[in-house]
Chain A
Amino acid sequence: MTTVAPSGTGAPGRARLDVRTLRTDRWWLQPLLTVLALVAFIVYSTVRAFENANYYAEPYISPFYAPCITTQCEGSTFPELFSGPAFISPALYILIVPLGFRLTCYYYRKAYYRSFWMSPPACAVAEPHGSYTGETRFPLIFQNLHRYFFYAGLVFNVFLTYEALMSFRNEDGEWFHMGLGTVILLTNATLLWLYSLSCHSCRHVVGGRLKHFSKHPVRYKAWTAVSRLNTSHMKYAWISLVFVAFTDFYVRLLATGAFDDPRFF
């Protein structure tokens, strides 16, 4: 086991024990699984964002590329706002918002501080750093921008819901049709709404900042509802993360012709 730092539990006056932790459970398992899951997602999403192909299969568009806002986009789902260079993937213009939202999310902060930065790796397990300033300095002080990513994320949720509704068409653009892809896009949009609305910043802005709930009954009800969702924020964070990758993968299967979308009607 690692010897403890003299500034931490080895500080003068404290009970002397030259071990990093006395925990006997598998405290390392959770950070390990977190690293594996997040690295897998980062690798997959980076590859897909730079692939710049196979993200559209009429009428479905991958969430990594929605809203697709350049003239380089495959298909036609969203107003093309500008013409970017062909070698820049349309995903790169938009992924900063969901990336920033998740990176500054209170749950993910806990997850990656523990698992990647080991600060601390688990409760009562000594961290390996000699000094610590938390979120008081650059760059971590920018974690305070979370609510702005939350606002932007809501706009993206509207776009993804719009794209999910657009998937009630068939390959010829005719309405009132539905396939497995429609269900997947709708589920993806719903999970992203649940993740966004269960956010701690959302809980604060809808009512948490108030001192007197009794003077704002509507906001109190909204705060109560968001608080209920907030208890499952971690769950929604993981489920929506996995499902957004799965949705992209499904669209890729369709776009490459590896799979045919089952049509219900």
Chain B
Amino acid sequence: MSYEANLRVWRGDAAGGGLQDFTVTVNEGEVVLDILHRLQATQTPDLAVRWNCKAGKCGSCSAEINGRPRLLCLTRMGTFTEDEVITVTPLRAFPVMRDLVTDVSFNYEKAAQIPAFSPRPREADGSHRMQQIDVERPQEFRKCIECFLCQDVCHVVRDHEDNKKSFAGPRFLMRIAELDMHPLDQLDRKDVAQEEHGLGMCNITKCCSEVCPEGIKITDNALIPMKERVVDRKYVPSTWLGRTIGRRKG
């Protein structure tokens, strides 16, 4: 069954823009990205929208639908009523380039600042060995498709542009947690997480977990465990004393 949907799309660029209303045909089983493609094909050939896999695996089509950060390709039109106005805007935490496309280079700059994986030396036979139970915890974080919805929704940078300098965002704090939990990694990342990437600014309101299309429990499994590791380092008197007098490394 087809129907005509009321679509409101943000159009413009860094100089300015606004919401424009359209009526677009919707067929059964379609997702919002399909509708935007039909809009592009029939009414606005110059509409800019970033997409790639249409399967929720490339993380390209991140946008905000009715104010909620979501993947365009995973949001079914069936979740809306036929008379509902569906508003689509670009991610609102990053600078807009044109229409629904934003400049997410902030994330790549933060990624480059994370100290790289530093495995211990290989064993005599040239291999790295690790137990499955040691590595399965950080494996959850490897599901990340880098859609940056968590970065977009995190109020620390979304609502405070000035915090972008000192806060890496949930995706990259999760990366630090992943490496800190990795059985082969040798670097100690607690001080880096707290002092250089702003872990203390996270107030664990869990929006990153709410919007993650991969269902990664970012807050419960990465950010809070990392905060607890920082407590081990900075706020446990015996640890602090041991490090101060040089009797303890970690």
Enumerate chain A residues within 8 angstroms of B46, measured Cβ to Cβ: none
Stretch of A121-129, A156-164, A246-254 lying at the B interface: A121-129
Q: Is the CB of A201 within 8 A of B134?
A: no
Report the bound CA distance from A219 to B246 in whole Å. 28
Q: How far is the CB of B102 from chain A (nearest CB, A)?
A: 8
Q: Does A7 contact B (CB under 8 A)?
A: yes
Q: Which of A126, A136, A213 contacts B201 (CB 8 A)?
A: A136
Which one of A109, A145, A200 has the highest number of Cβ atoms from chain B below 10 Å of its Cβ? A200
- With A8-B161, A113-B205, A208-B228 given, is the CB distance from A119 to B16 under 8 Å? no
State the total of A-B contacts with C-beta under 8 angstroms: 161
Q: How many residues of B contact A (CB 8 A)?
A: 61
Stretch of B24-32, B33-41, B93-101 lying at the A interface: B93-101
Q: Is the CB of A120 within 8 A of B159?
A: yes
Shortest Cβ distance from A123 into B: residue = B207
Shortest Cβ distance from B235 into A: residue = A144
Q: Is the CB of B95 within 8 A of A13?
A: yes
Interface residues of A in 129-149 (CB under 8 A from B): 129, 131-136, 140-141, 144-147
Q: Chain A interface secondary structure, helix, strand, loop or mixed?
A: loop
Q: Which of A113, A119, A136, A146 contacts B200 (CB 8 A)?
A: A136
Q: Does A220 contact B (CB under 8 A)?
A: yes
Q: Does B202 contact A (CB under 8 A)?
A: yes
Q: Chain B interface secondary structure, helix, strand, loop or mixed?
A: mixed
Q: Does A114 contact B (CB under 8 A)?
A: yes
Shortest Cβ distance from A120 into B: residue = B155
Q: Does A5 contact B (CB under 8 A)?
A: yes
Q: Does B51 contact A (CB under 8 A)?
A: no
Enumerate chain B residues within 8 angstroms of A204, measured Cβ to Cβ: 225, 228-229
Q: Is the CB of A22 within 8 A of B205?
A: no
Q: Is the CB of B181 within 8 A of A133?
A: no
Q: Does A2 contact B (CB under 8 A)?
A: no
Identify the 5 closest CB pairs spanning chains A and B, nearest first: A22-B67, A134-B201, A23-B67, A13-B95, A123-B207
Q: List 27 A-B contacts (CB under 8 A).
A: A5-B159, A7-B159, A9-B92, A13-B14, A15-B96, A15-B102, A16-B17, A17-B10, A22-B67, A113-B203, A113-B204, A113-B205, A114-B205, A119-B155, A123-B207, A123-B211, A124-B64, A132-B163, A132-B201, A133-B201, A134-B156, A134-B201, A135-B202, A136-B200, A141-B200, A144-B227, A211-B134
Given contacts A22-B87, A213-B131, 16 further A-B contacts (CB under 8 A): A7-B161, A8-B158, A12-B14, A17-B10, A22-B64, A110-B205, A123-B153, A123-B207, A135-B201, A136-B201, A145-B235, A201-B228, A211-B180, A212-B131, A212-B183, A220-B133
